Chain A
């Protein structure tokens, strides 16, 4: 069982839809992350929140909008996505100190029609 919970596990949406991906952890971690992973590729960092503040945005298009309502929750709001945005979206959390390992959820498999 993973300690980082992501919902939904699968999501199919049209290009005009608005949906949200959710991530939750109760390990007391103060850093949370969103990654995008395409097939046979490594996870690519999208956003980092540290102490509920956005600290890294890897030049992600504005159709992806992250939100960290509190230290346990991380959302990724999706709007007007493109077919190339279809991928596995992984959430992770860690202690905020340098070099601490990240704990990953099992991801949301997103398909854009």
Chain B
């Protein structure tokens, strides 16, 4: 049962434009949401997180939005850079270290 879903396997954007990656979840017990970035031959790297008591968290070019009623979160990258090209995983946990990952979205930023 896939509790965290990323329905877009890939996304291509032009350098300098906004990248929007989406994630949906089904478990209403999730209270922490995280985004990870993964380059080939490396482990996932933590990018940004948000707790369920917030609806927005920003860190430089990265902003995560949470819509609890829709069980939806998104990651915005502005402006997108070629070095952002990677696979992005959405993850969620119910606070007990049991983290569930989405299937990932491959982002390609074209120069």
Q: Is B truly associated with A? A: yes
User: In the complex, given contacts A33-B97, A48-B98, what are 11 additional A-B residue pairs having Cβ atoms less than 8 angstroms apart?
Assistant: A31-B97, A42-B103, A44-B101, A92-B43, A94-B97, A98-B95, A99-B93, A103-B46, A104-B44, A106-B41, A107-B43
Partner of B31 from A43, A56, A99 at Cβ < 8 Å: A99
- The chain B residues found within 8 Å of chain A, CB to CB, are 4, 31-32, 34, 36, 41-46, 49, 51, 89, 93, 95-104
- A87-107 with Cβ < 8 A to chain B: 90, 92, 94, 96, 98-99, 101-107
Task: Kindly state the interface size class of chain A when it binds its partner.
Answer: 20 to 34
Q: A90 to chain B: which residues have CB within 8 Å? A: 43-44
Distance in angstroms between the alpha carbons of A42 and B46 in the assembled complex: 15
A99 nearest in chain B by CB position: B32
Q: B93 to chain A: which residues have CB within 8 Å? A: 98-99
